[in-house]
Copies of this chain bind each other. A is one copy, B any other.
Amino acid sequence: MKLNIIKIGGNVIDNPRSCKQFLEDFAALEGSKILIHGGGKVATKIAVKLDVETKMVDGRRITDLPMLEVVTMVYGGLVNKQIVAQLQALGCNALGLTGADGGVILAKKRAVKDIDYGYVGDVEKVNAPLIDNFLKNELTPIFAPLTFDKEGNMLNTNADTQASSVAVAMAEQYEVNLIYCFEKKGVLSNPDDDDSVIPQLTPSIYADYKASGVINAGMIPKLDNAFAALQRGVAKVTICHADELKQAVAEGTRGTQIIL
């Protein structure tokens, strides 16, 4: 059985026209599918208005309790439900979820070492049978980048990692096609040239690009997640432009293909 798991980045969500086009293409995909969405800049804008300070330590965002409330509202409420309502209008029976709902993605609050990231969760366990049950009932799970810790807390979670974790869990039962969609055409060999897409990326090519500094810091966690997913049973991983979702699924030739 095939399963398409699509992650859509925050920059696409922030752009109403791109987001609408993406959701139309997603709704039109046949067969079982799952969407994991990022947060976008709405949370930051709303945090500013609510006088919730965005705290950064060593360039990393910290999720303190007020910021956790903002992301829970914005990712789990506003962004998730707007996507669900739009997909419902497009005939896709979307079911909005955070990891807490049905206990579907359990996480652990990140341990404090050098930095206290606050209410940030690292995924521990994905309840694949429950997701499978939703899929068998023709529901399309739409995940916000939030998990929980069984101690009463919601946790802010990286959407790329969440997508990879869900893909790995579902790979035991499905032939999983994991597609990271964002605002670029793929992984670029020249960050200044949007057309310099690397068509295929193996671990050794990746190591070379990293060593030469061509692949930028923002792309590294996404690629690490992509390779990890393949190593743990996911059939195929693609990184492509949100506009090319349809072709990436149908032809499998768009963007950057991640290969072991």
Residues on A lying within 8 angstroms of B by beta carbon are 46, 49-51, 69, 72-78, 80-82, 84-86, 88-89, 93-98, 100-103, 130, 133, 137, 139, 146, 148, 150-154
Complex interface: chain B residues within 8 A of A50 (CB): 46, 49-50
Q: Given A72-B81, A77-B81, A84-B100, list of 7 further CB < 8 A pairs?
A: A49-B50, A72-B77, A72-B82, A77-B77, A85-B153, A89-B152, A97-B101
Complex interface: chain B residues within 8 A of A78 (CB): 69, 72-73, 76-77
**Structural contact, B73 and A88, CB atoms closer than 8 A:** no
Chain A interface, DSSP helix/strand/loop, else mixed: helix
Complex interface: chain B residues within 8 A of A137 (CB): 130, 133
Contacting A103 at CB < 8 Å: which of B86, B88, B148, B152? B88
**Structural contact, B72 and A148, CB atoms closer than 8 A:** no
Complex interface: chain B residues within 8 A of A103 (CB): 88, 93
Of the candidates A51, A69, A85, A98, the one having the most CB atoms from chain B within 10 angstroms of its own CB is A85
Contacting A75 at CB < 8 Å: which of B77, B97, B133? B77
